[in-house]
């Protein structure tokens, strides 16, 4: 048995699938229903002309059958994993950071891990120009204005969540602090809360700004505590109704299963009673006698530890209600709670979780899955877990863990084992096309049909993060529909409220001397992907642009103007743009 100084993965019994699978299936049905509704013909849609130019090349986009693509350069990998893809000029700026790929990656990682050193004033000015009224409010002011104010309207209650949603898209598209945006998306999924109910929406600015973004380069225990005491989580997982007389285990269970040790460290429902009648923890132990896995008895005891954790209805502050707290001694992970039962019982459980070797490995694995591949190599998971555990008291613990992952050999050599989720896909398209983007109702309608509406996942496990969840027919069809709408410029304007909010002008971004189909395709592939398309993707797009002409000869200006935006759309639909 290994010592706790070296996190170790053990073979564990699979967790009971009942509740979790029901939640997942329900979410899947909801997503499918939304997508089916979006595809259902309506009178309005039936009148929209179909752009034949946007037909997808047959057989070009079956990602499930695609062989692993050759990896691009480390610089391109970094811009697609530490950022939501490059904007024009990003690759050139990265290439100027050093003389070798290793030097450039080191410099880019150092830059992104210290966002306060990055001038993001242009993005800040853009967000300030939107007239958002809630993004600067304190937690207490959000509570007073948007939760408990007399006669508060539903629109006012939802305003903080709505403005956070708009700002999240704007930052993802325009911010130079891209790693912050990538990790904010990660932690929103890890500590998932459904953001659109009456309790969470009113304080959503605080949950996003202070609880998650405020801790993503800090200490995991500090973040865990901020999440546990937030109104969003206390209401979402029902701990506000957890009492000694009527225990509610929702939060305690997700703390173990999702937020901390993870289901991979679940030992089952087994329990052992010793000869003296006392409970003995049945899981394997480390050299110091500490359980390496958790059982249901740990969750039941932790539930009692969190009894009485509440939100003050007048101020929105965390408070502890001693009258409903279970005051007897509890045993969690073979450790007895300290004497003098009270709010410290819950803090004690959070300490156990944050300092457990299983948590180090589980969180590191999830970060590696987000930043490298669906099934990250054990070597990088172990390296990250070792840093997580050894630096568990450091104020910049999470920054050190992320640095370990980003500078690992596995990060810069692994490719084609993840695809972009809808949020990444749309944002990377807007960034690569240098779109003039602002939020609008038409955009939201089409984006949410893709199945990843932000802050909208109802089960506590967050949006799935594996290729198979996003590469089936419906998700791919919806991203093609979104791409078609974005590139087909006449649909974006008009006389409605979204007029002039979103523009992708491809012609003005291409040098006038580039006029042959081959040159045009290669220019845009290099511009969007930072590399030439593979032949099986490149040739059909060249043929589309040539439209029967010799692809080595210059095209008439009207043909370039008519087909260019659709050519760019085909690159956005191609497998090479889906990988990350």
Task: Give the pLDDT mean for 455-478.
Answer: 94
pLDDT recorded at residue 36:
34
Kindly state whether residues 46 and 187 are assigned to the same domain.
Answer: no
Q: Residue 498's pLDDT band (boundaries 50, 70, 90)? A: low
The pairing of strands 266-268 and 335-336 is unpaired
Task: Give the pLDDT mean for 421-434.
Answer: 97
Which residues constitute the domain of residue 167? 117-236
Inside any domain, residue 365 = no
pLDDT recorded at residue 339:
76
Q: Torsions phi, psi of 487, nearest 5?
A: -85, -20
Q: How far is the C-alpha of 391 from the C-alpha of 355, rounded, in Å?
A: 10
- Domain final residue pick, 217, 236, 255: 236
Kindly state whether residues 453 and 578 are assigned to the same domain.
Answer: yes
Kindly state whether residues 157 and 179 are assigned to the same domain.
Answer: yes
In this predicted model, what pLDDT tens digit does every residue of 259-315 receive, in sequence order?
A: 999 999 999 877 777 676 677 888 899 998 899 999 999 999 999 999 999 999 999
If one counts the domains in the chain, the total is: 3
Q: Which of 238-247, 315-324, 453-462, 496-505 has the lowest mean pLDDT?
A: 496-505
Q: Is the pLDDT of residue 45 over 80?
A: no
Kindly state whether residues 430 and 548 are assigned to the same domain.
Answer: yes
Q: How far is the C-alpha of 237 from the C-alpha of 240, rounded, in Å?
A: 8
How far is CA 379 from its chain centroid? 23
pLDDT recorded at residue 499:
53
In this predicted model, what pLDDT tens digit does every residue of 441-457 receive, in sequence order?
A: 889 999 999 999 999 99
Inside any domain, residue 3 = no
pLDDT recorded at residue 369:
97
Inside any domain, residue 172 = yes
pLDDT recorded at residue 83:
98
Kindly state whether residues 208 and 323 are assigned to the same domain.
Answer: no
Q: Is the pLDDT of residue 61 over 70?
A: no
- The angle, 0 to 180 degrees and rounded to 10, between the axes of the packed helices 397-406 and 220-228 is 120
Inside any domain, residue 97 = no
Inside any domain, residue 201 = yes
| Alpha-carbon dihedral angle through residues 50, 509, 445, 210, given to the nearest 10 degrees | 160
In this predicted model, what pLDDT tens digit does every residue of 131-187 receive, in sequence order?
A: 999 999 999 999 999 999 999 999 999 999 999 999 999 999 999 999 999 999 999
**Please, what is the average pLDDT of the chain?**
87
pLDDT recorded at residue 501:
62
Residue 22, classified by CB atoms within 10 Å of its CB into exposed (0-12), middle (13-18) or buried (19+), is exposed
- Domain final residue pick, 335, 354, 373: 354
Kindly state whether residues 142 and 269 are assigned to the same domain.
Answer: no
- Domain final residue pick, 194, 215, 236: 236
Q: Which of 14-23, 367-376, 404-413, 555-564 has the lowest mean pLDDT?
A: 14-23
Could you tell me if 373 and 84 are in contact, meaning their C-beta atoms sit under 8 angstroms apart? no
Kindly state whether residues 524 and 439 are assigned to the same domain.
Answer: yes
Greater confidence, 58 or 405? 405
Could you tell me if 179 and 113 are in contact, meaning their C-beta atoms sit under 8 angstroms apart? yes
Kindly state whether residues 578 and 464 are assigned to the same domain.
Answer: yes
Kindly state whether residues 514 and 554 are assigned to the same domain.
Answer: yes
Inside any domain, residue 532 = yes
pLDDT recorded at residue 385:
98
In this predicted model, what pLDDT tens digit does every residue of 189-234 receive, in sequence order?
A: 999 999 999 889 999 999 999 999 999 999 999 999 999 999 999 9
Inside any domain, residue 424 = yes
Could you tell me if 321 and 337 are in contact, meaning their C-beta atoms sit under 8 angstroms apart? no
Inside any domain, residue 499 = yes
Quote the pTM value.
Answer: 0.88
Q: Is the pLDDT of residue 394 over 80?
A: yes
Kindly state whether residues 500 and 453 are assigned to the same domain.
Answer: yes
Q: What is the DSSP letter of 231?
A: H
Q: Residue 338's pLDDT band (boundaries 50, 70, 90)? A: confident
Could you tell me if 222 and 391 are in contact, meaning their C-beta atoms sit under 8 angstroms apart? no
pLDDT recorded at residue 24:
44
Kindly state whether residues 208 and 149 are assigned to the same domain.
Answer: yes
Kindly state whether residues 430 and 577 are assigned to the same domain.
Answer: yes
Q: How far is the C-alpha of 461 from the C-alpha of 193, rounded, in Å?
A: 9
And the tokens for 114?
């210290």
């Amino acid at each position: 048995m290994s010592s706790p100084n070296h996190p170790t993965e053990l073979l564990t019994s699979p967790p009971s699938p009942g509740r979790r699978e029901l939640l997942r299936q329900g979410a899947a049905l909801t997503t499918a229903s939304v997508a089916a509704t979006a595809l259902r013909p309506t009178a309005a849609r039936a009148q929209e002309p179909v752009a034949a130019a946007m037909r997808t090349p047959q057989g070009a986009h079956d990602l499930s059958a695609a062989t692993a693509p050759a990896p691009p350069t480390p610089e391109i990998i970094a811009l697609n994993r530490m950022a939501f893809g490059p904007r024009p000029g990003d690759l050139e700026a990265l290439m100027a950071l050093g003389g070798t790929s290793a030097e450039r990656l080191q410099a880019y990682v150092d830059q992104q891990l210290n966002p306060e050193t990055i001038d993001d004033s242009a993005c800040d000015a853009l967000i300030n120009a939107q007239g958002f009224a809630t993004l600067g409010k304190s937690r207490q002011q959000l509570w007073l204005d948007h939760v408990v104010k007399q006669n508060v309207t539903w629109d006012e209650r939802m305003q903080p969540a709505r403005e956070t949603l708009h700002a999240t898209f704007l930052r993802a598209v325009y911010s130079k602090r891209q790693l912050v945006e990538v990790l904010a998306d990660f932690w929103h999924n890890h500590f998932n809360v459904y953001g659109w109910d009456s309790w969470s929406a009113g304080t959503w600015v605080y949950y996003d700004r202070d609880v998650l973004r405020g801790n993503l380069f800090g200490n995991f225990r500090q973040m865990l505590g901020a999440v546990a005491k937030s109104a969003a989580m206390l209401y979402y997982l029902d701990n506000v109704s957890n009492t000694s007389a009527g225990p509610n285990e929702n939060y305690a269970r997700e703390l173990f299963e999702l937020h901390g040790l993870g289901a991979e460290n679940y030992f089952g429902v087994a329990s052992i009673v010793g000869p003296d009648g006392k409970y003995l923890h049945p899981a394997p132990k480390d050299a110091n006698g500490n359980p390496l896995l958790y059982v249901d008895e740990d969750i039941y005891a932790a539930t009692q530890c969190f009894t009485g954790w509440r939100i003050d209805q007048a101020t929105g502050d965390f408070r502890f209600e001693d009258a409903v707290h279970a005051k007897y001694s509890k045993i969690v992970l073979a450790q007895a709670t300290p004497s003098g039962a009270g709010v410290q019982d819950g803090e004690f459980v959070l300490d156990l979780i944050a300092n457990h070797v299983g948590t180090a490995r589980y969180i590191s694995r999830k970060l590696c899955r987000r930043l490298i591949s669906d099934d990250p190599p054990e070597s990088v998971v172990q390296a990250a877990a070792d840093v997580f555990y050894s630096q568990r008291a450091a104020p910049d613990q999470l920054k050190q863990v992320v640095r370990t992952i980003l500078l690992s050999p596995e990060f810069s050599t692994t490719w084609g084992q993840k695809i972009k989720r809808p949020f990444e896909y749309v944002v990377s398209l807007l960034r690569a096309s240098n779109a003039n983007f602002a939020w609008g109702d038409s955009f939201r309608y089409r984006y949410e049909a893709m199945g990843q509406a932000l802050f909208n996942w109802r089960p506590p496990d967050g949006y799935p993060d594996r290729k198979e969840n996003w590469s089936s027919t419906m998700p791919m069809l919806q991203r093609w529909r979104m791409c078609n709408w974005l590139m087909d410029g006449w649909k974006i304007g008009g006389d409605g409220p979204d007029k002039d909010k979103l523009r992708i002008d491809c012609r003005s971004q291409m040098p006038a001397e580039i006029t042959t189909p081959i040159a045009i395709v290669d220019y845009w592939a290099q511009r969007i992907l930072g590399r030439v398309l593979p032949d099986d993707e490149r040739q059909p797009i060249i043929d589309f642009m040539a439209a029967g002409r010799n692809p080595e000869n210059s095209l008439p200006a009207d043909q370039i103007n008519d087909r260019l935006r659709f050519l760019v759309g085909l690159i956005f639909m191609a497998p090479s743009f889906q990988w990350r």
